Structure 1
Amino acid sequence: MKSRITRMTAALLAAVLSLSLLVGCKPKKELTRYTTIFYDVFDTVTQVIAYCESEEEFNTQMQALHQDLIAYNQLYDIYNNYDGVVNVKTINENAGKAPVQVDDRILSMLELARQMYDLTGGKINIAMGSVLGIWHDYREAAEQNASEADNTLPTQEELEVAAQHCDINDLVIDEEAKTVYLSDPEMSLDVGSVGKGYAVEMVCRAAEARGLTSALVSVGGNLRAIGTKPDGSQWTGGVENPWNASEVYTNTNSIFGSPINMSDLALVTSGDYQRYFVVDGKRYHHIIDPDTLWPAAYYNGVTVLCPDSGMADCLTTALFCMPLEEGQKLVESLDGVEAMWCTPDKQATTSSGWDSHLKK
């Protein structure tokens, strides 16, 4: 009897194996390249290139990705309210009043920001909303002025008063209750240094979980590659030349002439040429040094390449506010992280592993 059962089991296994081989030999559908553009999230342009088996699959993936981006945009917004949405603006409005119960996507983003604060010695601080808000207001006023001569700057006293309300320890997160509380009533959060990058990372991970295997997502220049192209080649990204905005790939004799290989990597750049206003011929950009309370003056551009878009977003801001040697030491201490620093003397310095990612 035992021998008969063994023979039957062996026969059944052989049949299953044969069926598996037949299924495994079924040719895969060829993947086709599709593209789309969105204009309604994070106040910038979103572009996606993806390879899918059909246009229907691509459209389904992009609809879900777009809806995810819209949700993150609303959750991380510090300027606008949305029906039925408790967001970062809601947290700020309740500073010193009461804890606010929030979505897990806010909690996880804030936790990353706090970790990056510790990692960078406070060079990225989402609790600086009171200071950053002053610079935002002056920049907005400059955009409305008829003449550059009408533009003005905040006073040091004004900035220092606001800086008294930037203690990250006044950000109280209760993970069990899922609440966020700002214990200083004059404090406010500004998540511009982390929100978009973190959202891009989470959206791409969700797309991968839905079956997307090959894509390049760009949200205002925050690049995130999913997998490789169907032929096995890597996606490529470029670094905008901060001294000549029209140059990305045009000069093959410069570091900007080398496309950067990207497979499951993020490429993020912060620059003094992106958002700024001019007073007396001098440019005042949006990346504020927490030590001086004024626009950081070390670089014209900093680019970070690493596996996580949220971390890359945080690091570009933090490195922008660090002297070169300090920034290099930090980058070299982090696994899988590379960076490029572009200084005002028009010199580009890269981390030790940067060149290994350049397309040959």
Structure 2
Amino acid sequence: MNEILDSIVIGGGQAGLASGYHLQKKGLQFLILEASKQATGSWPHYYESLKLFSPARFSSLPGMKFPAPPDHYPLRDEVIQYLQEYIKQFQLPVMTSQRVTDVEKVGEVFRIHTISGETFQARTIINATGCFHNPFSPLIKGQETFKGHVLHSSEYRNQNHFANQRVVVVGRGNSAVQIAIELANVSRTSLAVREPVRLVKQRVWGQDLHFWIRVAGFDTFPFWRFRKKVPILDGVIDLGDYKERLATKNPDQQPMFTSFYPDGVVWPDGKMEPVDIVIFATGYRHNHPYLNSIGALDSEGKPLQVAGVSTETSGIYYVGLEGQRSFSSATLRGVGPDAEFIVKKLLLYLKN
């Protein structure tokens, strides 16, 4: 493609679509490149029962409200449908099956190469892929000898095939607890944690927690600059009966095991317990190798950026990074304000 666009958005999930909305609003020429066959981000790869931690009233992209009652907590498939409708509503220029393999900068123009063999040119790039395509699982001593199954939470879909199994879920975050509670209905399940799970009430004084987060300014204040965790935000949101279930040890919590052995895991007290399946709900890591050649990443592969603006490569921007500008940056409700901020920065760059 010989045309030089104003911007190329890499990633067609929520962050990419929000970026497209604001680029379109400013009348810029752009394309959204999505690696998969549909522009719905990582949502199709999450477990089927996943429920948003914020209600519909706080779960919208810019320009289009989530089509559900304000206090409804959307499920995974509802989000997927919403993203598909969002593309249609604004007729966003999305090209699917365009996984980016390399980016080079020639003068003031970026050349973006995709796995399909195509090359696109643009004066700026918004990287909106997030981290959810690169699951992280720690290496535990003896893991290579374990005869059971090891998987990451990103591979978990539903409780089918887990009946009557001995399962250990590693982690203490929202996904770990939600998966463990679901599996505890059909199997003997434990959470392996370094610290006990801390629960946060979903509703406080008749309002959803996110109402108070917004009122208090936690949703936009850049706590990341101070490298401190905010207690009210550092916990698992109780989506129902979590407190009761954990109190009755269904699932139970165990101190993180120290190693594997062929038939199971070894707990800190030295007890060896047979286990069928271990699920690591241990998060994700940055994965933007195509930006390496233009010096946009540090030695660990993390974007060198402040508030979504590259500090090393002019013309590179980000939307959807965790903690990019606020607590909500990587969420449905957070990518819109961040995208608006980035597009304003991008416009200033294009005018210079």
Superposition TM-score tier, normalisation by shorter sequence: under 0.3
After TM superposition, the score normalised by the length of structure 2 is 0.27
**Higher radius of gyration, 1 or 2:** 1
- Structure having greater relative contact order (Cα 8 Å, sep ≥ 6): 2
| Structure number having the greater helix percentage | 1
**Structure 1 length as normaliser, TM-score?**
0.27
